Structure 1
Amino acid sequence: MRRFCTSGPVDRKTCYYVERPELMEEAIDHIENWRYFTVSAPRQTGKTTFLNDIVEKTKDKYLPIFISFESYDIENKQQFLKVFTEDIIEDINYRHNIDLELKIPTITDEIKDLIKEIHMKTGKEIILMIDEFERFKNSKIINDFLHAIRSIYHKKELHRLRSVILISVGYLSGILEDNASPFNIAEHMEVPYFTKEQVYDLLIQHEKETGQIFEEEVKELIWHNGGGQPGLTNALAYDLVVKKAKNEKIVTKSHFDKTLYDFLKKYINKNIENVISKAKNEKDLIMQILFEPDKIEFDISDERIKYLYLNGVIDECNGYCCVKVPLYYKKLYNHFKPQVNGEKTYMATIKDTIRPYIKDDGSLDLNKLLKRYIKYIKQRGAVMFKGRNYYEGVYQYNLDQFLSLYIEAAEGKVYPETQVGGGRIDLLINFNNKEYLIEVKVDITGNEYEKAKKQLIEYIKRNDLNEGWLIVYSSSIEDFEYILEKYEDKKLHIWFIKTNFESPSKVQ
């Protein structure tokens, strides 16, 4: 019985596996046409699995050799040539069951003789694949190596080196620009995240093999929260079937809610921890990207943006920087949220409970709870908001913390940045099996205000709800205000929250 693979590379004999036919076709086309090219992808995106697939699909016709520079902590050229040759011998034996004795080059230029010798002894043209290429930091040796490859490239049919594939976490342009004319930037390939169809394909494989079924909503939630990131997608599915819904016939949303909670609050996941670790190195920028969406233009020439992108933290969304994987966003949000825990005693006193905000039918009286929130802001606004840049997240997180304090006391949940209706809502409340959508805006223009209302109405319609909430924090308004607008049979509750306080308010 196969399973969801949570660490790579994926063995299709023991793990569910997703085909990438278009990507594979492009790679094979490059090889057939004697192209030397580069491949990149952030870690845990299935890059090595894809490259192992290239080996399997080409080994009958050619001699693919797949080595890695990951542990090449090498100081001199002779040592490099020795280790390089030994790795090639080992891989040929491992993948092709051919035991070769090869002469170790004494100078880098003799690599072409090494390639000729391999061809003579095997009778096959060679595909040389080098993973973790950027990890080898000795620039002098790398430069000499790339010059040798360039020399071979100009007579590739003579040397029978059909293709060279350099693989890395990110672009290799800085390493290659002076030394590697064979590696045309137009023939650089990126291994993308799974598409929605590929995520569903993965889940359906499990259903067919085990008979255990994912509810349709659960499939959507796995796709949306994992964002197609292969490592996370498999990890979420694995946790569901092995831990939360073990021996159950159907994997339900209730199971998924428990899995999501554990990933957000309990588990130490290597993918997520790596993203947080990299984000810490560019804290100011990631804070802006998290809490000031659609403001930071995506420009790969900015070294900070390039660093976060190549490490899988951010991506490009309509020309702007974004955190495309929702689960990453939620973890980063929790990690970088402003530290306002000291406000808890002001948000709810010993007399405050959730009971007054629950209607007779068990639903949440969110407007009444927001009135309590405004009372708190009038008391604490000057302390909390004065001098703050809103990209620090102080507004959204302040509201999140306030709502969570009351709602979680009654077993409800408040989720930040949740996928709904083809987009993301800033806050989603789940209370007694009913959802409440809240969009948060700060100091917006009139056009942005109208756009926000229209967008929220669309979310309400697509989620078959009757109402939604738009919270507008503004430094230009004189006082707090509530507006109720109706769109056909849908209600839009709009709350304007004043943020411009000259001194601490005395209002009780």
Structure 2
Amino acid sequence: MRTFCTSGPVDKKTCYYVERPDIMEEALDHIENWRYFTVSAPRQSGKTTLLRDIVEKIKDKYLTIFISFESYEDKDKEDFLETLVMDINRSNKKIYGKKMELIIPQKIDKIRNLIEELNEKSGKEIVLMIDEFEKLDEKIMNEFLHVIRSMYHDKEIYGLRSVVLISVSYLSGILEDNASPFNIAEHMEVPYFTKEQVYDLLSQHERETGQIFDEKVKELIWHNAAGQPGLTNGLAYDLVAKKAKGEKIITEKHFEKTLYDYLRVYIDKNISNIINKAKKEKELIMKILFEPEKIEFNIYDENIQYLYLNGVIDNCDGKCCVKVPLYYKALYTRFRPKVNGEKSEMKTLNESVKTYLRKDGSLDLNKLLERYIKYIKNRGAIMFKGRNYYEGVYQYNLDQFLSLYVEAAEGKVYPETQIGGGRIDLLINLNNKEYLIEIKSNIDEDQYEKSKKQLVEYLKRSGSKEGWLVVYSNTIEDFKQEIEEINGVKINVWFIKTNFESPSKVN
């Protein structure tokens, strides 16, 4: 019986597998047209699995060599050349079941002789695929690429039909520099799964085992992993092997437990890698997380490029963003501003959430926001005075406050939740009802009008008739609430004052 693969590459015999026809067609087209190209994607994105699938499709037509430079990092030239030949023969044995007697080149330039020898002995044109190419020593890499480039101009003579270099990111200095020895290359990125591909993956399990994913769970897997192959498989595996093992239907309750463990209990390799990379650009990632839509995406900015190439951030309509919600939640938790120690002020010992619940179990959110304002009036001088906070600080403060009450009623508060192509800042789910909250800080009149329109759009997409806009401002004189009807939906606007007397003047 097959299962969800949590460590690649994927073996089709033992793991569920998603066909990726578009990217496969692009790669095969490059090879058929004698193109040399690079393939990039963050780790656990399925690039090695894809390339191995390509090997299976072309190995009878071409001499296909698939090797990895993962262990080449500290090799000198002599060791590099010897290991290269050994790895080529290992590839031949794995793919074709036999080795060749090959002469080890004495110089990197003599690699051209090795390629000629392979071509002559096999009688086939060669497709050379090299995984983890970025691990190669920079000087050796440069010489190696000069040789490949020189053969490219006589590729039919050498029989070197295609060279495919595979890495976790763009090969900096190779693709971008016009003087590069390898500026002949095309570039191909391996995208995450589409929603249809995620559902296809889950349906394979359903067909083979009879265990069913609730439709809401499928949506949650798609939303939280955003199609990232490693995360998608990881979430699904945890659900079927741990949270819902032996049960007929995998429910939303099962998923909530899996999500909790991913964010607070497990040391997931994908999330750990993202956090470690983000730590190296802490100031920038703080701005991207907590000043949303304000950091312009520019691939030539080295700091932005570093986060992008390592799969931490993405380009969202020209702005830097964290596209994978599970990554966002992990980074949000790890880098959120330190405003802890406030819980006892937010919800006192004698307060009950029942005060803010109506008879039908729905949340009286306006009444709860009145309680929030009472808290801010009492603690605002300590919380906000003299601090140049990112917008996310306010979001986290409100998130922390609401969670104390909502979770007491067995509900959930979700930050940055996908709503039909956009993201709402906070979403409350309580007793099967959703409450959408958009948060802004220190905006002008034009931005204020735009924010209301944005919230209306989110409400329409979700089918809700009422939403909340919370505006933090250091220029208003007092707290206030306004209610508007816009295009058939109700907008509750709460203005939160953040300019207070210094803490020393507060009783």
TM-score class, shorter: over 0.9
Q: Equivalents in 2 of 1:201, 1:5: separation in Å?
A: 14
Q: 1:392 to 1:336 in 2, by over 3 A?
A: farther
Q: Distance in 1 between matches of 2:360 and 2:391?
A: 38
Q: Is the 8 A contact 2:174 2:183 kept in 1?
A: no
Answer yes or no: is the 8 Å Cα contact 1:337–1:392 preserved in 2.
no
Match of residue 246 from structure 2:
247
CA contact (8 A) 1:55 1:64 kept: yes
Letter in 2 for 1:119: N
Q: In the alignment, residue 474 of structure 1 is paired with which amino acid?
A: S
| Cross-structure match for 2:489 | 490
TM-score (ref. length: structure 1)? 0.95
The question of whether the paired residues in 1 share the 8 Å contact of 2:174 and 2:182 is answered with no
2:216–2:252 contact (8 Å) kept in structure 1: yes
Matched residue SS, 1:56: helix
Q: Percent identity?
A: 70
Matching of residues 73-88 of structure 1 within 5 Å: 73-88=73-88
Partner of 1:42: 42
1:444 has 2:443 as partner: yes
Aligned pair in 2 of structure 1 residues 369, 420: CA closer, same or farther (>3 Å)? Answer: same
Give the 3 Å change call, closer, same or farther, for CA 470–338 of structure 1 in structure 2: same
TM-score normalised by structure 2 residue count = 0.96
Q: In 1, are the aligned partners of 2:428 and 2:435 still within 8 Å (CA)? A: yes
Mean CA deviation greater in 175-184 or 424-433: 175-184
CA positional deviation for 1:434: 2.1
Residue correspondence of structure 1 range 262-411 to structure 2 within 5 A: 262-391=261-390, 393-411=392-410
Q: What's the counterpart of residue 190 of structure 1? A: 189
Can you list the C-alpha shifts for 1:459-487, whole angstroms capped at 9, x where unaligned? 22332333211111011111000112224
**For 1:50 and 1:118, how far apart are their aligned partners in 2?**
25
User: What is the DSSP-based 3-state SS (H/G/I as helix, E as strand, rest coil) of the residue aligned with 2:127?
Assistant: strand
Letter in 2 for 1:10: V
Distance 1:492 1:183 in 2: 54
- SS, match of residue 173 in structure 2: helix
Alignment of 1:91-170 (within 5 A): 91-136=91-136, 138-170=137-169
- Written as runs of structure 1 = structure 2, the 5 A alignment for 1:200-219 is 200-219=199-218
Query: Is 1:502 aligned with 2:492?
Result: no
Q: Secondary structure at the match of 2:342?
A: helix
**Aligned residue identity for 1:101:** E
- Which segment drifts farther, 146-155 or 160-169? 146-155
Displacement after TM superposition at 1:221 (Å): 1.4
Aligned partner of 2:18 in structure 1 is 18
The 3-state SS of whatever aligns with 1:424 is strand
In the TM superposition, residue 418 of structure 1 has moved relative to its aligned partner by: 1.1
CA contact (8 A) 1:127 1:164 kept: yes
1:70 is aligned to 70
CA distance in 2, matches of 1:160, 1:116: 7
Count of residue correspondences: 506
Alpha-carbon distance in 1 for matches of 2:474, 2:204? 53
Alignment check: 8 A CA contact 2:16 2:201 kept: yes
Q: Tell me, in whole angstroms, the C-alpha distance in 2 between the residues paired with 1:488 and 1:281.
A: 45
Distance in 2 (alpha carbons) for counterparts of 1:108 and 1:62:
24
Cα deviation, residue 505, structure 1 = 9.3
CA distance in 2, matches of 1:337, 1:475: 21
Verify the 8 A CA contact 2:142 2:181 in the aligned structure 1: no
Where 2:390 maps in the other structure, the secondary structure is helix
Aligned partners of 2:173 and 2:180 also within 8 Å:
no
Deviations 1:109-146 (A, max 9, x none): 1111111111222221111111111111x222222211
C-alpha distance in 2 between matches for 1:390 and 1:184: 47
Q: Cα deviations across residues 331-354 of structure 1 (Å, max 9, x unaligned)?
A: 110111111111122212223232
Q: Determine the C-alpha separation between the residues in 1 that align with 2:251 and 2:449.
A: 37
CA shift in 2, pair 1:226/1:180, >3 Å: same
Is 322-331 or 172-181 further displaced after alignment? Answer: 172-181
Could you tell me which amino acid in structure 2 is paired with residue 190 of structure 1? E
Deviation of 1:392 (Å) = 6.3
Tell me which moved more, 270-279 or 146-155. Answer: 146-155
